[in-house]
Structure 1
Amino acid sequence: MSKSLQDQLLSAGLTNKKKVKQAENHKKKQAKVKRTTGQEDEVKLRAEQQRKEKAERDRLLNLERKAEEEKKAIKAQVKQLIEMNRLSNSAGDIAHNFIMDKKVKKINVTAKISDQLAKGRLAIAELEGRYDLIPPKVAEKILQREPDWPIVLNEKAPDTGDAEEDDPYADFQIPDDLMW
């Protein structure tokens, strides 16, 4: 059989048993130090990994909070736009029907306001369960900020004026002295 290097050195007389024991003890100490520092490195690595994970979670939470704050700010702006620009004396005795959230709703207005709503010169916005009349420019600003806000804005009808273009009697003059 082959002998270990230590056994060969002992038999050759190049070393003694005391030096062999010292070498073994030194080897054991190095292995122990290596094991303990390896565990410490693992603990440090785990701690560093946990710090990185916590930082990522905190970053995501901050982004969510920031998004919620932006939503609140936009809602406050929309509410302020509606409150500042709503028409105050819009109550009337004519029922104006409109569709909001796939349901037919009704608001009582004057005939003039009903006509303006139909032609797109006024818009209806919902705020806290009630319907307010607002100018169409304000409605467009609201829809830019919050596209899902409940607003009814008809397309603007072109101004036709009092005379119609298709009037077949437009070429005929009405005499001033006509008696009925």
Structure 2
Amino acid sequence: MALSLQEQLLKQGLVDDKKAKQIKQEQRRKTKQGKQKPAEPNEVAERARAARAEQAEKDRQANRERQQEAERKAIAAQIRQLVETHRLERRQGEIDYQFVDAKKIKKILVTSAQQDQLARGRIAIARFGESYELVPANIADKIRQRDEATVVLLNSASEADEDDPYADYPIPDDLMW
């Protein structure tokens, strides 16, 4: 029977049991380290780093979306406040004023003075929830800066052209569409 080198050294007394066990443990460690791939810890670290980067990007995207939603809500609140504080009273309105909103003809009741101001571009019609409100033209400009679609009607307030050949002819009062 063939004896291993370690057993031969033990028989001759050159090595004691303690030293033999230490050498055996070191050899096992070396073989275990040799079997393990040194690339695995790098792969694991790389995957973990990639997962952290991906999660950070998702978090940034979610944060951007939250900020945009908060900005939209703030703009909507500003528009609502502008319309509520500056809307013009329409209680005594007896004239149907027709305008187009989203390819549909809508009507609101206005006074004759408001009808004239609407035609001259001094006041505008703004969408307010499910209804419409009259607001001054300067407020309509502020609303348009925040959201273009909220202001439904704002006629241009152009002065009478000096070269207009029809400037001397009044527009009939019964001309309504």
* TM-score calculated relative to the size of structure 1: 0.70
- Among 34, 57, 71, which residue is 1:31 paired with? 34
Any residues of structure 2 matched to 1:158-169 within 5 Å, and which? 158=159
- Which residue does 2:59 correspond to in 1? 58
CA distance, structure 2, for counterparts of residue 165 and residue 104 of structure 1: 29
Query: Measured at CA, do residues 90 and 155 of structure 1 come closer, stay the same or move farther in structure 2, by a change above 3 Å?
Result: farther
Unaligned runs of 5+ in 2: 7-23, 169-177
* Count of aligned pairs: 146
3-state SS in 1 of match to 2:76: helix
Any residues of structure 2 matched to 1:51-90 within 5 Å, and which? 51-89=52-90
Any residues of structure 2 matched to 1:1-150 within 5 Å, and which? 28-32=31-35, 34-35=36-37, 37-89=38-90, 91-150=92-151
CA distance, structure 2, for counterparts of residue 89 and residue 150 of structure 1: 17
3-state SS in 2 of match to 1:125: strand
Query: Measured at CA, do residues 81 and 63 of structure 1 come closer, stay the same or move farther in structure 2, by a change above 3 Å?
Result: same
CA distance, structure 1, for counterparts of residue 29 and residue 86 of structure 2: 88
Amino acid at match of 2:125: I
Paired-residue identity, %: 41
Using the TM superposition, give the Cα deviation of residue 91 of structure 1 relative to its aligned residue in structure 2, in angstroms.
Answer: 3.4
CA contact (8 A) 1:126 1:151 kept: yes
CA distance, structure 2, for counterparts of residue 131 and residue 125 of structure 1: 6
Query: Measured at CA, do residues 98 and 39 of structure 1 come closer, stay the same or move farther in structure 2, by a change above 3 Å?
Result: same
Query: Measured at CA, do residues 107 and 66 of structure 1 come closer, stay the same or move farther in structure 2, by a change above 3 Å?
Result: same
Using the TM superposition, give the Cα deviation of residue 151 of structure 1 relative to its aligned residue in structure 2, in angstroms.
Answer: 2.2
CA contact (8 A) 2:97 2:107 kept: yes
Unaligned runs of 5+ in 1: 1-15, 168-180
1:12-69 residue CA offsets vs partner (Å, 9 max, x unmatched):
xxxx966xxx8x868634412x52x432322222112111110110010000110010
* TM-score calculated relative to the size of structure 2: 0.71
3-state SS in 2 of match to 1:148: helix
3-state SS in 1 of match to 2:150: coil
CA contact (8 A) 1:100 1:150 kept: no
Amino acid at match of 1:126: R
3-state SS in 2 of match to 1:76: helix
